Amino acid sequence: MCGIVAYLGEKKAYPIIIEGLKRLEYRGYDSAGIALLNGKMQVLKKKGKVSELENHASEQLENYDYSMGIGHTRWATHGVPNDVNAHPHTSNDGNISIIHNGIIENYDSIKKALIEKGHVFHSDTDTEVLAHLIGEIQKTEKLPLEEVVRLALKKCVGAYAIVVMDQNDPGKLVGAKFSSPLVLGIGDDEFFLASDASPIIKYTNKVIYLNDGEIVTIKRGKGYCIKNLSNETQNPKVSELDLKLEEIEKGGYDHFMLKEIFQQPTTVATSMKGRINSKEGWAILGGMKPNIARIAKSDRIILTACGTSWHSAMIGEYLLEDLARIPTEVEYASEFRYRNPIIKENDFIVALSQSGETADTLAAIKMAKAKGAYLYGIVNAVGSSIARETDSGSYIHAGPEIGVASTKAFTGQSTILALMALYLGHHKGLIEETYFRKLLAELESVPSKITKILAKDDHIKYIAGEIKNASNALYLGRGYNFPVALEGALKLKEISYIHAEGYPAAEMKHGPIALIDMYMPVIVLATNKSAYEKIVSNIQEVKARKGIVIAIVTEGDEIIKEIADFIIEIPEIEEPLTPLLSVIPMQLLAYHIAVMRGCHIDQPRNLAKSVTVE
Ligand code: M6R
């Protein structure tokens, strides 16, 4: 999704903004632009990568002597990706420039009214309409920029994070947020506004996460002031970022995705830190502790999420019903929010999100909150909107995930869900003590077992080479491995562009079996102890139709080795914890296939890391 960077201070703004835009590239975008102000405003925009904007700037920029400016990476919603639709957009008189993340839903009616007043539009975007609206109000009301922005936003319906700059009011930036993220960075005599902390961390660790409906005004030499849409001054909390620059760099890996896959022994261990002790026999989540009695008595748990987070939610459903015996439902946030669901007072609603900014998940929990539900967040991005909107929660502490394909967030979320199920099940007295301690010890062993799987990277790469030219792939799994099959298929399609589907293994014969021929790779997650014979039969059914079987098996499996074309062995683990291991080969397989096909690993086409629009 769109990325925002703005700077006001004593340093040269251009390199700071360009570097910041590069740090935000991971969010996904198709064009970029910048507006710089030093007496006169210069606006430069280019379709394509930030590097193309840089080339354009090296020809067009009159000088580099600007100490304030706004920059943007655009992920197209209204209008195709091109130079004209790229941000910043300017007001009718060209004095005001604006960058925007989100969608102004009522832009069409505002645009028509402005056209009647003589405004001429150049782009297809909703953002240009907002720029003109601000300009029009300024022309008629003659108020300070921040006040004009406030009045304009009161006329808008939709989502926005914006930064506005006026060449007639130099030394001032105005930012505002509603449903899209915006962070204020506070340095020494310098200020930053950005979509997340990554462009800011190099300069300061003091930030304010703006709340919905807040407008920040930054004035050179005078500091900042935050008001709400009713013009009331706010008392914001200044947070200290717990983020290091090296965490947002590749650290010697070819891609962020590979770095993040290989970080998992550490990130899973960090997700568990202070939350489990097999020797003493406890698992706990601090966010649940004060309300554990109430949560344990829940009639129902509803897990809501999108994409990969939805897949970990499915693992949560299996875990919570298996170990805590609480009826659990998994909801796509985008469906849940619109289908008038039944939410009862005694339901426990859990939102899962890596970014904490996914628009559908955020809207789903706002809807559930309005119906009186108790909300819990399992989130990676600290200080994000979902983390702040939920009543309590558990951070997964995986560190910044930059590759668009989610990997370490999945294992982090699944770890928290395992802890949640163990905590609840034990609290309810449902898990026999020896088995409970066994599960705790097994969970603690996951990081070292992931390390063992990562050591098979060359073997997995070899298999990737054997199937890299496939046009389709089928992923099959049973029980705890079914959500992993879905996740494996999603990983492959999003970064390699190979069509892939995940299925419960037994469902294959109800349709997908028709697709199997000698060109079809079928990845079978076959580590289950329960239903082992059934999954062996499924493999036989694929082989009988000449499909290419890649089986993920438990170490020492001699039976499937004889039938499958390729096997990837993973260490033995208690079945409820299997997904934490069986997903690792899925991630590596997708990664290597995509590399061999020459795909953009960290920024696959059309995708955004943080989906902040519906
Ligand atoms: O930040 P979130 O976890 O809320 O994001 C949800 C999905 O957009 C995300 O998981 C997406 O499916 C990833 N590209 C999957 O790799």
Active site residue 156: no
Q: Which of 1, 256, 260, 309 to mutate to test the pocket of ligand 1 (most atoms within 8 A of CB)?
A: 309
Q: Which of 358, 395, 493, 591 to mutate to test the pocket of ligand 1 (most atoms within 8 A of CB)?
A: 358
Percent of the residues in the chain that have a pLDDT greater than 90, as a whole number: 86
In this predicted model, what pLDDT tens digit does every residue of 88-102 receive, in sequence order? Answer: 999 999 999 999 999
CB 315 within 8 A of CB 482: no
123 falls in which pLDDT band (50, 70, 90)? very high
CB 183 within 8 A of CB 195: yes
Per-residue confidence (pLDDT) for residue 480, from 0 to 100: 97
Which region among 7-11, 265-269, 439-443, 530-534 has the lowest average model confidence (pLDDT)?
A: 530-534
Which is the closest atom of ligand 1 to the Cα of 358? 4
Whose CA is closest to atom 9 on ligand 1?
307
224 falls in which pLDDT band (50, 70, 90)? very high
Q: Which of 410, 611, 612 to mutate to test the pocket of ligand 1 (most atoms within 8 A of CB)?
A: 611
More reliable by pLDDT, 613 or 76: 76
- DSSP-derived secondary structure letter, 379: E
337 falls in which pLDDT band (50, 70, 90)? confident
Whose CA is closest to atom 7 on ligand 1?
307
Per-residue confidence (pLDDT) for residue 178, from 0 to 100: 93
Ligand 1 binding residues, C-beta < 6 A: 306-309, 353-355, 358, 361, 404-406, 490, 494, 607, 610-611
Over residues 105-124, the mean pLDDT reads 95
Over residues 349-353, the mean pLDDT reads 97
In this predicted model, what pLDDT tens digit does every residue of 284-307 receive, in sequence order? Answer: 999 999 999 999 999 999 999 999
Over residues 174-194, the mean pLDDT reads 95
Whose CA is closest to atom 12 on ligand 1?
307
In this predicted model, what pLDDT tens digit does every residue of 512-557 receive, in sequence order? Answer: 899 999 999 999 999 988 889 999 999 999 999 999 999 999 999 9
Whose CA is closest to atom 4 on ligand 1?
353
Q: How far is the CA of 308 from the centre of ligand 1 (A)?
A: 5
Of residues 46, 111, 259, 609, which has the active-site annotation? Answer: 609
Q: Which of 149, 128, 151, 211 is nearest to 177 (CA)?
A: 211
Per-residue confidence (pLDDT) for residue 373, from 0 to 100: 87
Q: Which of 406, 494, 600 to mutate to test the pocket of ligand 1 (most atoms within 8 A of CB)?
A: 406
Tokens coding 382: 């600290």
Residue 612 has pLDDT above 90, yes or no: no
Which is the closest atom of ligand 1 to the Cα of 607? 14
Tokens coding 1: 């999704």
Q: How far is the CA of 333 from the centre of ligand 1 (A)?
A: 12
Q: How far is the CA of 494 from the centre of ligand 1 (A)?
A: 11
Which region among 62-66, 256-260, 327-331, 456-460 has the lowest average model confidence (pLDDT)?
A: 62-66
Tokens coding 561: 């080795």
Over residues 228-238, the mean pLDDT reads 95
Q: How far is the CA of 400 from the centre of ligand 1 (A)?
A: 13
Residue 195 has pLDDT above 80, yes or no: yes
Per-residue confidence (pLDDT) for residue 532, from 0 to 100: 93
Q: How far is the CA of 472 from the centre of ligand 1 (A)?
A: 22
| β-bridge partners, 332 | 305
Over residues 111-126, the mean pLDDT reads 95
253 falls in which pLDDT band (50, 70, 90)? very high
Per-residue confidence (pLDDT) for residue 520, from 0 to 100: 96
Per-residue confidence (pLDDT) for residue 248, from 0 to 100: 85
Active site residue 609: yes
Q: How far is the CA of 455 from the centre of ligand 1 (A)?
A: 27
CB 173 within 8 A of CB 8: yes
Q: In whole angstroms, what is the distance from residue 100 CA to residue 266 CA?
A: 36
Stretch (H or E) spanning 258: helix 256-262
Over residues 131-149, the mean pLDDT reads 95
CB atoms within 10 A of CB 518: 8
Residue with tokens 């790229």: 86
245 falls in which pLDDT band (50, 70, 90)? confident
Residue 1 has pLDDT above 80, yes or no: no
28 falls in which pLDDT band (50, 70, 90)? confident
Of residues 2, 156, 306, 599, which has the active-site annotation? Answer: 2
Q: How far is the CA of 404 from the centre of ligand 1 (A)?
A: 8
Which region among 214-218, 303-307, 369-373, 531-535 has the lowest average model confidence (pLDDT)?
A: 369-373
Residue 179 has pLDDT above 90, yes or no: no
Q: How far is the CA of 136 from the centre of ligand 1 (A)?
A: 39
Mean pLDDT value across the chain: 95
Q: How far is the CA of 610 from the centre of ligand 1 (A)?
A: 7
Which is the closest atom of ligand 1 to the Cα of 611? 8
Which is the closest atom of ligand 1 to the Cα of 306? 6
Residue 613 has pLDDT above 80, yes or no: no
Whose CA is closest to atom 14 on ligand 1?
405
Per-residue confidence (pLDDT) for residue 261, from 0 to 100: 98
Which is the closest atom of ligand 1 to the Cα of 409? 3
Over residues 339-362, the mean pLDDT reads 93
* Separation of first and last alpha carbons in the chain: 11
Q: In whole angstroms, what is the distance from residue 183 CA to residue 163 CA?
A: 11
Residue 614 has pLDDT above 80, yes or no: no
| β-bridge partners, 45 | 33
Which is the closest atom of ligand 1 to the Cα of 405? 16
CB atoms within 10 A of CB 46: 21
Q: How far is the CA of 602 from the centre of ligand 1 (A)?
A: 13
Which is the closest atom of ligand 1 to the Cα of 355? 1
Q: How far is the CA of 536 from the centre of ligand 1 (A)?
A: 32
Over residues 332-354, the mean pLDDT reads 92
DSSP calls for 441-477? HHHHHHHHHHHHHHTTHHHHHHHHHHHTT-SEEEEEE
Contacts with 25 (C-beta within 8 Å, 6 or more apart), sequence order: 3, 49, 50, 73, 603
Residue 26 has pLDDT above 90, yes or no: no
Q: Which of 354, 491, 607 to mutate to test the pocket of ligand 1 (most atoms within 8 A of CB)?
A: 354
Side chain identity at 429, as an amino acid letter? G
Which is the closest atom of ligand 1 to the Cα of 381? 1
Distances (CA, A) of 134 to 121, 161, 441, 469: 14, 15, 60, 52
Residue 50 has pLDDT above 80, yes or no: yes
Whose CA is closest to atom 8 on ligand 1?
307
Over residues 33-57, the mean pLDDT reads 94
276 falls in which pLDDT band (50, 70, 90)? very high
Which is the closest atom of ligand 1 to the Cα of 407? 16
Per-residue confidence (pLDDT) for residue 509, from 0 to 100: 87
